[in-house]
Structure 1
Amino acid sequence: MEMTGMRILVLEDEYLIGLDLERIAEESGAQSVQLIATVGELQAQIANETDYDLAILEVQARGVSSLDSAAEMQRRGLPIVFTTAYDSQANGVPGFPDIPVVAKPYGKAQILQAVAKALANSQHNPASRRNGASGEFV
């Protein structure tokens, strides 16, 4: 699964894991990756209506649930992938049956497979929002 030209928001409270997710996205062609560590930062991104094509969200970041923020992003049509360190959430997060979940530890293949599923499940099409010649988001 390629992420060519995509703008990706990553919520991950473990710095090295966040850097690994950033690397995976960049190697897969992402235009930009915004790495944040707290749900408060996530809420600020939502409030600012920053334009992303995909969100990779840790279910619990520094002990705070990201599910309320995920619900708002889902309402806006943004494809989401959840990551989790909790075995109880590895097979799905209650209330989010269509959002793929990747359990830690994970590798590039698992992330890319989850991204492909999230994009397939979503009506969100990043290519349709690009300005033809410049490739900028409109």
Structure 2
Amino acid sequence: MKKPLHGARVLLVEDEAMIAMNIEQLCREHGAADVVTIASFEALVPEVLDTGNISTAILDIKLSDQWTDDFARLLQERRIPFIFATGYAAGHQVFEPFAGVRVIEKPYRESDLIDALADVWSNSVSDRV
């Protein structure tokens, strides 16, 4: 049986090390070909999308004290499907410009995270076919 993230190249933007390690392992268990983890705002540069050949992303809306909404807009511009996994409530005003982007609130069930990511990734793959 094909795994839901089979072949995906996931960009994970998460500054909490234990959470990042858990999500990375989870993505690999569900078929991701690669997981590129960014843990600091300084490392969150557009070039990571090119060099990592990213197909989908999990984005925390805030790394330390820096908002990542500009990077989220870049993902949208490049048509890279993504979800937010964050401690902020889905109704927070920072998400208003991202109508239609799923927000998975921490703490979340692992299955909810994988289902949301697999859903946006598989929809983007079928759109390209």
TM-score (normalizing by structure 2) = 0.84
Structure 1 counterpart of 2:56? 54
5+ residue gaps, structure 1, are 130-138
5+ residue gaps, structure 2, are none
Report the Cα offset of residue 92 of structure 1.
8.2
Distance 1:76 1:16 in 2: 29
Structure 1 counterpart of 2:104? 102
Structure 1 counterpart of 2:24? 22
Contact 1:10 1:35 in 2 (8 A): yes
Report the Cα offset of residue 112 of structure 1.
1.6
Structure 2 counterpart of 1:117? 119
Report the Cα offset of residue 9 of structure 1.
0.7
Aligned residues: 124
Distance 1:88 1:115 in 2: 16
Distance 1:119 1:31 in 2: 13
Letter aligned with residue 47 of structure 1: E
Kindly report the root-mean-square deviation, in angstroms, between the aligned alpha carbons of the 2 structures.
2.5
Report the Cα offset of residue 83 of structure 1.
1.1
Tell me: CA distance 1:106–1:35, structure 2 relative to 1, closer, same or farther (3 Å). Answer: same
Report the Cα offset of residue 55 of structure 1.
0.8
Report the Cα offset of residue 98 of structure 1.
1.5
Structure 2 counterpart of 1:33? 35
Structure 2 counterpart of 1:136? none
Percent identity of the aligned residues? 29
Report the Cα offset of residue 93 of structure 1.
1.3
Tell me: CA distance 1:112–1:92, structure 2 relative to 1, closer, same or farther (3 Å). Answer: farther
Structure 2 counterpart of 1:133? none
Alignment partner for residue 11 of structure 2, among 4, 9, 30?
Answer: 9
Structure 2 counterpart of 1:42? 44
TM-score (normalizing by structure 1) = 0.79
The residue matched to 1:94 in structure 2 has which SS?
Answer: helix
Report the Cα offset of residue 84 of structure 1.
1.1
Contact 1:100 1:114 in 2 (8 A): yes
Tell me: CA distance 1:89–1:64, structure 2 relative to 1, closer, same or farther (3 Å). Answer: farther
The structure where helix makes up a greater share of residues is 2
